[in-house]
Chains A and B, each alone.
Chain A
Amino acid sequence: MKKLIVALVVIVAAVFWWQRTPLTDSNPYVFAVVDEEGKPTDMKYTVPDDKDILTQENSEQILYGKRLLNETKRLLPDNVGAAMNCNSCHLYQGKLEYGDPYINTYNAFPQFNSRAERVVTIEERINGCFQRSMNGTPLPEQSDEMKAIIAYYKWLAQDVPHGWQVVHQNTGPIDTSLQPNMDKGEEIYGAMCASCHGDNGEGMWDASGNIMFPPLWGDDSFNIGAGMARLYKAAAFVKYNMPMGYTMNRPQGQGHVLTDQEAVDVSYYFTQKPRPDFPAKVYDWPSGKKPKDARY
């Protein structure tokens, strides 16, 4: 009897010991959703974990899309001219607010494009990136690769209906009335950018042949037709996302370091550097309503 009581006490104590720390669930990012007219809805959007991909029927296709976005240069060398991956700009696999996310991409197209002054399809928009930011050639619209990339976007949009939008900002505000200062920009570049992007803007590759920090100018950088070549677009990106691995901001230690003025100065420094031309630029803004920071 005594032994039994001792055993019971030990078991109960062990269970308490084991149970004393409750396990913690993940704490995902949740956003509101608005309908076609921008009115609030009851729907909430939760940024999905990649594990959720495995529950999808076309999980292989989605994972292929995810890989193409992460490792574009290595996997699609014929289509990517620059040393650049999609996710060089679309941070955290397109899940990061202010980091050019893909969360609303699938549901937002076809969409009016002010540069083309017409409605463009999602395939055209993706190929815009391939031809401008990645200074390459378009993917065939019916290719497995194009379909895989769109499948990833569709998965990322979860069950948000087409036309509705997650209240999740692609980019943050920047004061576009600020005038850039080249000398200050150069100074900031040296102190805050060159460690990764190189003193000559040449970027950095990892040991297994993937581009890690993209070149910011020169032959391997984005061409003159890219959004990133525009001063204030670049400045907004820099302000909210750069440097990376520098702050305690989740999930990538990104941004919120420079003032608007500093972001404008440093963006002026690298956007004005030599970079590949984009011959099809002649078709942009056909009626001439160019933004003031266009390079052409």
Chain B
Amino acid sequence: MKVTKWVTIAALLFVAVLGFSMSMPHWYYPDAQAYQLDMNDPDVLAKGEYAAIAGDCVACHTAPGGQKFSGGLAMETPVGVIYSTNITPDKATGIGSYSYQQFEKAVRQGLRSDNAPLYHAMPYPSYQVVSDEDIQAMYAYFMKVVLPIQKENKDSTIPWPLNMRWPMHLWQMVFAPKRDFAPIADATDAINRGAYLVEGLAHCGACHTPRGIAFQEKSLSADSNNHFLAGAVLEGWYAKSLRSEATGLASWTEEELFDFFTTGRNARTAAFGSMADVIAHSTQHMTAEDRWAMVKYLKQLPPKKGHQVEFPEKTDTTTNKLLAGDYSDTGALEYVEHCAACHRLDGLGAARIFPALDNNSIVFAEDPSSLIQVTLEGARMPNTPHDRMAFAMPGFQHLSDQEVADVLTFIRQGWSNNASKVEVKDVARMRDFVKIRPSHYVLGSEK
């Protein structure tokens, strides 16, 4: 008797939650607006293409070696692999049959045309703040300019019952609540334009903002909780803090950051991994005004509470030791053997060719994941018209975990760097991780 009662209560509760959740698309979001632009106006199409570039849609919606926007890129989640979808205007397999209202709901609200919620690998929590004008122009671009490609979407490998989408409605209400872009009072137009791009289309937070227990970004804008763009690990890459703090952008000048967005490198460092994609497909094609706007916005983000604003000054003793042939520090011998030909004994590399290791913010980042992954797997700079060649570093998987840990510790603590040790088990775990990681987008491989 008692058991039956509890089962009944549980069942009723379940039905109530299910019903509430499933009904969400019908009452939670505002009614979509009518389409107001001329879809054949070249200015609208250009604006739409620009928005798609700023949103870097191509990076995720293109598989390695695949056709632009036809989807199929694998993304690792804690519960399985999901694949990006075909967003070409193909009527059968893409979004060709989407009305503007359906398109808008997908991009800004994370709802598929059948009202099923999208996984938040799609950065719709960020896209919420994108303006109606940009979304409408983007719709015109995808429908009128992008080539339709017939390619079926792939199912995710997430097992039942975790693959049920309806609970995501609740997630959306809690973690991606409806909101509009909120300009910063008293800030310049440039800073607010930067905020609009960084928080919205450029969705920088998707990688750079730490995520919480439900894999939600802990903050979607520069509010008081200070988590926004404070640095996070995703797919074994550490996307560094972009706040003005020691391990963030404090060591970067505005000019260096602008140069980085424009060319993928500057005299000290170069983009690699996912950021190389971002430069190659997105930031280099943005207007100089917009790149400056992002710089101005990022550089005014205050440090996270409790984070060091600047590193204490440290005198470089490493260079003179190495020049004098003193290889007694752990990892020094390996450094000279494997790294110094390019990165040099002074750790300064060659400007725009081989990144410096001294005072390079990815080297002294709080979390060494990216440094370890680059060392094991190698990396490539993005190609931009600014430089004649884009350089690359091969992987050093042939070194032992101990050797990699020793040499990276040497690098993180050498010259003026002042970072923590790299542990042998960190290297072992990263080696393990890259083995199972799905193959990611390969720069320049799209057709």
A interface residues (Cβ-Cβ under 8 A, vs B): 18, 21-29, 49-51, 53-54, 63-64, 67, 70-71, 74, 87, 91-93, 190-192, 194-196, 204, 206-208, 210, 212-213, 243-253
Contact = CB atoms under 8 A, between A and B. Distances in A.
B391 A245 contact: yes
A49 B340 CA distance: 15
A243 B392 CA distance: 10
B398 interface: yes
Contact of B323 (A22, A92, A208): A208
A93 B400 CA distance: 20
Interface string B323-352: 101010000011011101110111010100
Interface residues of B, number: 43
A12 B187 CA distance: 56
Query: Which 6 pairs across A and B sit closest by C-beta, in order of nearness?
Result: A26-B400, A208-B346, A21-B428, A50-B337, A27-B398, A206-B344
Contacts of B184: none
Contacts, number: 116
Contact of A93 (B337, B378, B396): B337
A51 B336 CA distance: 11
A145 B326 CA distance: 17
Contact of A252 (B334, B342, B400, B432): B342
**Majority secondary structure, B binding face:** mixed
B393 interface: yes
Contacts of A92: 341
B393 A245 contact: yes
Interface of B: 319, 323, 325, 327, 333-334, 336-338, 340-342, 344-346, 348, 350, 353-354, 378, 380, 387-389, 391-403, 424-425, 428-429, 431-432
B346 A192 contact: no
Contacts of A27: 397-398
Contacts of B396: 250-251
Contact of B394 (A93, A208, A252): A252
A208 B336 contact: no
A245 B354 contact: yes
Given A21-B425, A253-B394, A206 B348 contact: yes
B325 A26 contact: no
A248 B342 contact: no
A252 B341 contact: yes
Contacts of B400: 23-26
